[in-house]
Structure 1
Amino acid sequence: MSKNPFPIYTPPVSRRSLLRSAGAGFGYVALAGLLGQSTPQAFAATADPRSPLAPKQPNFKPRAKRVIFLYMEGAMSSLDTFEYKADLQNNDKKSSPGGGLLNASKFKFKQYGKSGQWFSELMPNIATHADELCFLRGLHTDTPAHPQAVVQLHTGSANAALTRPSMGSWLIYGLGSENQDLPGYIVINPTPNFGGAANYGSAFLPAYYQGTGISDEGFMPNVKAANPHALEIEQLDLIQRRNHDLAAINGAPEAVEGVIKSYELGFKMQGNVPDLLDITKEPQHVLDAYGVKPGPDGSFARQCLTARRLSEAGVRFVEIRQPGWDHHTNLHKGMIKQTGMIDKPTAALLQDLGDRGLLDDTLVIFGSEFGRQPAAQLNDDGRDHNITGYSMFLAGAGVKKGFNYGSTDELGINAVDGRMHMNDLHATLLAIMGIDHEKLTYRYAGRDFRLTDVAGIVQKDIFA
């Protein structure tokens, strides 16, 4: 028997063990505590191609580099905003094929731009961009319940038994991050409603692909630096060097790897994020254009301006949220209030992106998890959910301008032309970003998963 060159066997040291023991007892708790520390040496920004967040080559030439998703949580009524139906207006209080009585919109509509897009009086500012917008008018989805529909919009699946990665996580997994000092995926004003964190989580993808949440006041927890302590900084640098040295030898559970990457990114962000999120540094005319003001009524304006700043800095996917659109009752007053908060900021965002040249490589998505019925509900001042036909609009890179794709029937109940399921929307989004949705896969529990699952058709007719 050959002599063992290692008479005393020492098991390999895992990263988990290292984090517990290295640096004179410096472990998980101490590492978390150092999130309040700042040093230019710690986790210096390097374009390491081995990093999972490093930029990756797309499958083909992308039409857009980044996405801003303006999500109207609760299902905004397009029948009262940008989907004019003459038959609905002319048949108010008559029987609806879907049951109940038809409820004509109480708001005046008119056409805008050379493309003749219809907008109601609720969106006078967005309407000025009519010739820049690409409307998807044949959307449909699978479930009329908010929790499932919202999760399906964000992850491609309404199956509560297995949470899937969000579309932002899939994009960062497929393309990496443009800026190694910032998260690739940020959600502004994340809410606990309708699935909560599942809507921007990474699920079974590694944790470093999940969305980073910030408040609508531009606050990100644990990002501001406290007074650094030299000894702790040295310990941190030592641990990180050992961590990278052992990477090829031992590997680590993805959860631990995700923590490590999150802490690395946390240190990098300390030099950039506070200033980046401080929208008060913007000129007054920019703040006025967005309608920035304190309080809840100014939330969406602050989000839009922050989204522009983040996108300009290289954040690949930014989602902003405006809850409060679930108008089963109080539709008239509710729509006036809601659109009053989002119309001016949305238009300002489109204008600002265009003025800065960012709209040439940024895709803007505006929409909800489903639509609303043309029939009246609850004292004739509400609309129920509609999953069989509704609209969104896109703007910016990769899509046609002043264009309508698909349509619903004369009353706005069912998608009849250019039908686009949620899987098709996701496949098309990925294609705009240069990704083949059938090739973007991740193996988990014995099978290859995709954002589009086993479906999805790219709707190339909307491509510019």
Structure 2
Amino acid sequence: MTMEKELLDRHLHFNRRRFLKGLGFGIGGIALGSLLIPDLFGKHEEETAALGLPHFAPKAKRIIYLFQNGAPSQLDLFDYKPLLNKMQGEDLPASIRNGQRLTGMTANQTKFPLAGSVFQFGQYGQARAWISELMPYTAKAADDLCFVKSMYTEAINHDPALTFMQTGAQQGNRPSMGAWLSYGLGSENKNLPAFCVLLSKGKGNGQGVYSKLWSNGFLDSIHQGVQFSNGENPVLYLADPDGMDRASRRKMLDEVAALNADSYKEFGDPEINTKIQQYEMAYRMQTAVPEITDLSKEPEDIIKLYGPECLVPGSFAANCLLARKLSESGVRFVQLYHQGWDGHNNLPGEIKGQCKDVDQASAALVQDLKQRGLLDETLVIWGGEFGRTNYCQGKLSVENYGRDHHPRCFTIWMAGGGIRPGVYGETDDFGYNIARDPVHVHDFHATVLHLMGLDHEKLTFKHQGRRYRLTDVAGKVIDGLIA
């Protein structure tokens, strides 16, 4: 065993018990421990992993999640099914649907006409992954991507499906993925939050996004996502008001912190300390955020890589470039939401615009991270909350069809951060059911946490007498996805 590996093993297996044992429980050792790791004696070991240390050696240090809000049609992008074109207009066999519940939008249909895709597909990369003509830039990056074609969920409507994909539960008031990672691993940059949120919107039929998707839930509020805007002030209320300079702000924060410290002594509410931390974070962000959000200084080759839209504040391309800068600066989890994928009607027309918005910038992000040597330690995720049906919603037209929600199978892709490139999972010839290697949302969450060095069964928080976790009481790590 090399000295470097031995030191790494010691670091990753370091815990409070070993620390105290090694120092012989001396008063000086305890004092030193509290200085080295301020949270060391603050919480019960079984209630937190929030010492900023993973459970085991991680493959990824940070995540950028490109969430396609509204559910892209996997059958028009990544899951090529020539049988649907061959059987165009024929009724979906009852043996394939097998009594699956439907949404209110197709529940009254007596016929379910199969709808093939009007778009051409080709095979790309060493894995010969099928990719639609709508995604030419993604096709060029195929060798860096892992297409997971066998994702599934129970939720059939947007709100519960969105919430489930982001928080591991279909109801609200649960911590989101970013909040769990902030809680478990902390931040790499004390001048920036561990969890940042960026929003963009395409021209397609949109589904709303709301703050519960990046909520801290029952975790301390320091772990909630910080939403960036596309206005003059990227983070609202961060800038000093007119007439206040940095020295005055510093003095005010010191006075407020003293008052809050007195309140904490009296009431013992941990949220008071959280409030102090948030004020201090905002103060530090006043210097860090303007520099990071200034995209005007990016070199011409980077602008060309992401496309001219990256200079339009609030666009998906601009948010991808900003996500790279935030991740490069040590933000643990950057969440993008791009709205407009809800293709119930005129899907061919709407999906062209959506793909034009996201294809180049998504692939550029992967390439940019790779050329900077950051892709190996950054996990990039692309996908929505569920898939789309293989049958048409309403009247079928070759040039103008719509697809309803489909939770039984859908496709996402991942790149970097310890992911094995290629194709994982398979659906049946109708693109309706999973034929091989299913991946449930809980399995997806367990695998993502594993790549970050966290055991999903150990990352827990006790709330109202029960220990909660991102994967609830289910989930398994999918070894086939890991390099």
- TM-score interval, smaller chain: 0.7 to 0.9
Matched, 1:283 2:299: yes
1:279 alignment partner, SS class? coil
Structure 2 unaligned spans of 5+: 1-34, 43-48, 98-110
Cα distance in 2 for partners of 1:120, 1:270 equals 43
In the TM superposition, what is the alpha-carbon distance from 1:296 to its structure 2 partner? 7.7
Aligned to 1:92: 88
Matched, 1:440 2:459: yes
Q: How does 1:143-162 map to 2 (within 5 A)?
A: 143-160=155-172
Q: How does 1:354-433 map to 2 (within 5 A)?
A: 354-380=370-396, 381-401=401-421, 403-433=422-452
Residue 196 and residue 410 in structure 1: after superposition, are their counterparts in 2 closer, same or farther (change >3 A)? same
CA contact (8 A) 1:297 1:341 kept: no
2:39 alignment partner, SS class? coil
Matched, 1:353 2:365: no
In the TM superposition, what is the alpha-carbon distance from 1:378 to its structure 2 partner? 2.9
Aligned to 2:211: 197
Q: How does 1:53-132 map to 2 (within 5 A)?
A: 56-97=52-93, 98=97, 100-132=112-144
Aligned to 2:254: 237
In the TM superposition, what is the alpha-carbon distance from 1:130 to its structure 2 partner? 0.8
1:374 alignment partner, SS class? strand
Cα distance in 1 for partners of 2:157, 2:60 equals 32
The range that moved more, 362-371 or 294-303, is: 294-303
CA contact (8 A) 2:312 2:318 kept: no
In the TM superposition, what is the alpha-carbon distance from 1:190 to its structure 2 partner? 7.4
CA contact (8 A) 2:195 2:333 kept: yes
The range that moved more, 305-314 or 287-296, is: 287-296
Aligned to 2:185: 175
Aligned to 1:453: 472
In the TM superposition, what is the alpha-carbon distance from 1:124 to its structure 2 partner? 0.3
In the TM superposition, what is the alpha-carbon distance from 1:54 to its structure 2 partner? 7.8
Aligned to 1:184: 194
Cα distance in 2 for partners of 1:325, 1:297 equals 21
Aligned to 1:50: 39
2:217 alignment partner, SS class? coil
1:139 alignment partner, SS class? strand
Matched, 1:219 2:234: yes
In the TM superposition, what is the alpha-carbon distance from 1:339 to its structure 2 partner? 0.3
1:76 alignment partner, SS class? coil
Structure 1 unaligned spans of 5+: 1-45
Aligned partner letter, 1:228: D
Aligned partner letter, 1:221: L
Q: How does 1:233-272 map to 2 (within 5 A)?
A: 233-240=250-257, 249=265, 252-272=268-288
Cα distance in 1 for partners of 2:353, 2:209 equals 25
Cα distance in 2 for partners of 1:353, 1:420 equals 27
CA contact (8 A) 2:234 2:293 kept: yes
Cα distance in 1 for partners of 2:127, 2:388 equals 25
String of CA shifts for 1:189-235, please: whole Å, max 9, x gaps: 17995561110000110100000001245721122345417456334
In the TM superposition, what is the alpha-carbon distance from 1:178 to its structure 2 partner? 0.6
Cα distance in 2 for partners of 1:389, 1:442 equals 31
CA contact (8 A) 1:150 1:194 kept: no
Aligned to 2:347: 331
1:186 alignment partner, SS class? strand
CA contact (8 A) 2:196 2:226 kept: yes
In the TM superposition, what is the alpha-carbon distance from 1:307 to its structure 2 partner? 0.3
Q: 1:210 aligns with which of 224, 229, 249?
A: 224
In the TM superposition, what is the alpha-carbon distance from 1:244 to its structure 2 partner? 6.0
Residue 352 and residue 231 in structure 1: after superposition, are their counterparts in 2 closer, same or farther (change >3 A)? closer
User: What TM-score do you get using the length of structure 2 for normalisation?
Assistant: 0.81
Q: 2:153 aligns with which of 141, 149, 156?
A: 141
Matched, 1:340 2:356: yes
Residue 47 and residue 384 in structure 1: after superposition, are their counterparts in 2 closer, same or farther (change >3 A)? farther
Q: 2:326 aligns with which of 310, 329, 340?
A: 310
CA contact (8 A) 1:177 1:316 kept: yes
In the TM superposition, what is the alpha-carbon distance from 1:369 to its structure 2 partner? 0.2
CA contact (8 A) 2:179 2:225 kept: yes
Cα distance in 2 for partners of 1:64, 1:233 equals 36
Residue 440 and residue 294 in structure 1: after superposition, are their counterparts in 2 closer, same or farther (change >3 A)? closer
In the TM superposition, what is the alpha-carbon distance from 1:417 to its structure 2 partner? 1.3
The range that moved more, 276-285 or 252-261, is: 252-261
In the TM superposition, what is the alpha-carbon distance from 1:347 to its structure 2 partner? 1.1
Cα distance in 2 for partners of 1:222, 1:47 equals 33
User: What TM-score do you get using the length of structure 1 for normalisation?
Assistant: 0.84
Aligned partner letter, 1:424: D
CA contact (8 A) 2:310 2:319 kept: no
Residue 309 and residue 60 in structure 1: after superposition, are their counterparts in 2 closer, same or farther (change >3 A)? same
Residue 265 and residue 115 in structure 1: after superposition, are their counterparts in 2 closer, same or farther (change >3 A)? same
Cα distance in 1 for partners of 2:324, 2:267 equals 37
2:65 alignment partner, SS class? strand
Indicate the percent of aligned positions where both proteins have the same amino acid.
40
CA RMSD in angstroms, aligned pairs only? 2.5
Cα distance in 2 for partners of 1:108, 1:202 equals 43
1:118 alignment partner, SS class? strand
String of CA shifts for 1:365-405, please: whole Å, max 9, x gaps: 0000000011011332100010011111100011111x222
Cα distance in 2 for partners of 1:342, 1:229 equals 39
2:342 alignment partner, SS class? coil
In the TM superposition, what is the alpha-carbon distance from 1:171 to its structure 2 partner? 0.6
Cα distance in 2 for partners of 1:268, 1:424 equals 37
String of CA shifts for 1:17-39, please: whole Å, max 9, x gaps: xxxxxxxxxxxxxxxxxxxxxxx
Aligned partner letter, 2:146: C
Residue 130 and residue 213 in structure 1: after superposition, are their counterparts in 2 closer, same or farther (change >3 A)? same
In the TM superposition, what is the alpha-carbon distance from 1:183 to its structure 2 partner? 0.5
Cα distance in 1 for partners of 2:338, 2:253 equals 40
Matched, 1:300 2:316: yes
Q: How many pairs does the alignment contain?
A: 415
Cα distance in 2 for partners of 1:169, 1:416 equals 34
2:390 alignment partner, SS class? coil
Cα distance in 1 for partners of 2:310, 2:419 equals 34
